[in-house]
Amino acid sequence: MSQESATKICILGGGFGGLYTALRLNQLPWDSIQQPEITLVDRCDRFVFTPLLYELLTGELQTWEIAPPYAELLQNTAIRFCQGYVKKIDIDQRLVQLDQGREFNYDRVVLALGGETPLDFVPGASSYAYPFRTIADAYRLQEKLRLLESSKQDNIRIAVVGGGYSGVELACKLADRFQQRAKFRLIEMGTDILGNSPDFNRQAARKALTAKGVFLDLETKVTQIAADQMSLEYKGHIDTIPVDLVLWTVGTQVNPVVRDLPLEHNQRGQICTSPTLQAIAHPEIFALGDLAQIQDANRQAVPATAQAAFQQADYTAWNVWASLTNRPLLPFKYQHLGEMMALGVDNATLSGLGVQLDGPLAYVARRLAYLYRMPTWEHQLRVGLNWLTQPIVDAIA
**Per-position b or e across 369-380, b if 16+ CB within 10 A of its CB:** ebbeebbbeebe
Query: Which has more pLDDT, 347 or 304?
Result: 347
Q: What is the pLDDT of residues 329-354, one digit of tens each?
A: 999 999 988 899 999 999 999 998 78
Region 2-28: mean pLDDT is 89
Q: Strand (E) positions, 243-338?
A: 245-248, 253-254, 271-272, 278-279, 282-287, 292-293
pLDDT of 109: 98
pLDDT of 190: 94
Do residues 229 and 123 lie in contact, with contact meaning Cβ atoms separated by under 8 Å?
no
Region 28-43: mean pLDDT is 87
pTM: 0.93
The yes-or-no verdict on residue 314 having pLDDT over 90 is yes
Per-residue pLDDT band at 46 (split at 50, 70, 90): very high
pLDDT of 33: 64
Closest to 176 measured CA to CA, from 133, 214, 233? 214
Angle, CA 319 vertex, CA 317 and CA 320 arms, to 5°: 65
Instruction: Kindly give, in sequence order, each residue whose CB lies less than 8 Å from that of residue 119, ignoring residues fewer than 6 positions away.
Output: 125, 126, 129, 131, 248
pLDDT of 295: 82
Q: What is the pLDDT of residues 70-96, one digit of tens each?
A: 999 999 899 999 999 999 999 999 999
Proportion of the chain above pLDDT 90, given as a percent: 83
**Residue 143: what are its φ and ψ, rounded to 5°?**
-65, -40
pLDDT of 397: 61
Per-residue pLDDT band at 294 (split at 50, 70, 90): confident
The yes-or-no verdict on residue 279 having pLDDT over 70 is yes
Instruction: Kindly give, in sequence order, each residue whose CB lies less than 8 Å from that of residue 237, ignoring residues fewer than 6 positions away.
Output: none
pLDDT of 197: 87
Region 189-210: mean pLDDT is 93
Q: What is the pLDDT of residues 201-219, one digit of tens each?
A: 999 999 999 999 999 999 9
pLDDT of 354: 83
The yes-or-no verdict on residue 222 having pLDDT over 90 is yes
Give the domains, in start order, of the chain with CATH numbers.
Answer: 8-43+84-116+253-325 (3.50.50.60), 125-248 (3.50.50.60), 339-396 (no CATH)
pLDDT of 85: 94
Task: Write down the mean pLDDT value for the chain.
Answer: 93
Per-residue pLDDT band at 32 (split at 50, 70, 90): low
Angle, CA 92 vertex, CA 86 and CA 96 arms, to 5°: 20
Q: What is the pLDDT of residues 378-395, one digit of tens each?
A: 999 999 999 999 777 666
Per-residue pLDDT band at 1 (split at 50, 70, 90): very low
Give 395's DSSP letter: H
The yes-or-no verdict on residue 240 having pLDDT over 50 is yes
Q: What is the pLDDT of residues 8-20, one digit of tens each?
A: 999 999 999 999 9
The yes-or-no verdict on residue 2 having pLDDT over 50 is no
The yes-or-no verdict on residue 4 having pLDDT over 60 is no
Proportion of the chain above pLDDT 70, given as a percent: 97
